């Protein structure tokens, strides 16, 4: 009964989110995000149908749609990066390099793991592969949030909602897949209720933040700082060196 309530609750929330997105024209501003919601709605309806009328196929459908949703979710991460840093070319450049470094590190780790245990890909459970993919997604979001914090990037209400909702969902997925992987049936039972309920909370975050259009704060000074970076960086380096000698003076003796 509870699982049915959660299931129908998420379908209703997704429909409401799409209707509001259509009415406020947010669909055209955040196309990747709404594409993701359309996909999740389709996925929920398909799963509901298969669960009731083709139960033997449910497991297969569940995991295959989960994989597709990870790839569609990557587009949401890219949209957060693209829209959030549109007015900040410097921070955008840093984010590109940081994400590239992160994906390279993930690739190296995956190759190293496979080299250590060549049978891993053949023997790994679906949950293990999915957890690894969600971890890369979580790390990308984590790196982006750190960058937003470091450069004090301020977001509008809509984009902030997309980031919070999707970030909460990915963090919840990583934790859920970790417990699913441990195989303890008591935990699995508990998490099988908590995970969809967690997703419903994320949907509520999205509905709350995307109820109406709120523009992102725009920077008006971008052109002023073009081609001046070397000078600014040199000045900062000089000031930090001053700070170090100031500290050294006190404790160095």
Partner 1 sequence: MIGLISALAVGLLLLTALAVFALRQGSTARDIQAISEFPADPRHSGEFGVCPHEFVARIFSPEDGQFISQTHAPYLKRLFLHERKRVALLWVRQTSRDIQQVMRNHTDTAKQAADIRFRTELSLFLTYVELRLMCETLSLLITTVGPPRLERIAASVHELSQQISCAHEAFVKSSSGTATDTTVAS
Draw the binding track, 23-62, toward partner 1 (x: CB under 8 A; -: no contact): ----------------------------------------
By CB under 8 A, tell whether 233 contacts partner 1: yes
Rg (CA), the chain: 22
Nearer to partner 1, 154 or 189 (CB): 154
By CB under 8 A, tell whether 122 contacts partner 1: no
Cβ neighbours around 2 below 10 Å, total:
9
What is the spatial distance between Cα 168 and Cα 38, in angstroms, rounded to a whole number?
A: 19
Residue 46 contacts by C-beta under 8 Å, 6 or more apart in sequence?
61, 65
Cβ neighbours around 188 below 10 Å, total:
14
Cβ neighbours around 115 below 10 Å, total:
9
By CB under 8 A, tell whether 159 contacts partner 1: no
What is the spatial distance between Cα 92 and Cα 100, in angstroms, rounded to a whole number?
A: 12
Q: How far is the CB of 58 from partner 1 (least distance, A)?
A: 25
Q: How far is the CB of 244 from partner 1 (least distance, A)?
A: 6
Which residues here bind partner 1, judged by CB under 8 A? Answer: 87-91, 93-94, 97, 131, 135, 138-139, 141-142, 145-146, 148-155, 160, 163-164, 167-168, 170-172, 174-175, 177-178, 181-182, 219, 221-222, 224-230, 232-233, 235-237, 239-240, 242-244, 246-253
């Amino acid at each position: 009964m509870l699982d049915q309530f959660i299931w129908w609750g998420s379908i209703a929330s997704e429909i409401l989110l799409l209707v509001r997105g259509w009415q406020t024209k947010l669909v055209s501003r955040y196309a990747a995000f709404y594409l993701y919601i359309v996909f999740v709605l389709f996925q929920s309806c398909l799963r509901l149908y298969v669960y009731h009328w083709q139960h033997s196929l449910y497991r297969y459908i569940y995991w295959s749609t989960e994989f597709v949703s990870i790839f569609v979710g990557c587009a949401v991460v890219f949209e957060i990066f693209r829209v959030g840093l549109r007015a900040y070319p410097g921070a955008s450049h840093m984010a590109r390099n940081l994400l590239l470094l992160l994906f390279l590190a993930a690739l190296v780790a995956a190759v190293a793991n496979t080299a250590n245990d060549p049978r891993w890909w053949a023997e790994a459970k679906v949950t293990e592969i999915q957890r690894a993919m969600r971890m890369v997604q979580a790390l990308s979001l984590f790196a982006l949030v750190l960058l937003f914090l470091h450069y004090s990037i301020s977001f509008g209400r809509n984009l902030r909602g997309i980031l919070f909702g999707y970030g909460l969902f990915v963090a919840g997925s990583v934790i859920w897949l970790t417990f699913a992987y441990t195989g303890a049936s008591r935990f699995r039972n508990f998490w099988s209720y908590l995970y969809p309920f967690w997703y419903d909370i994320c949907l509520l975050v999205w509905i709350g933040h995307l109820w109406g259009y709120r523009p992102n704060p725009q920077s008006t000074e971008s052109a002023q700082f073009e081609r001046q970076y070397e000078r600014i960086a040199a000045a900062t380096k000089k000031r930090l060196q001053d700070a170090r000698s100031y500290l050294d003076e006190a404790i160095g003796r």
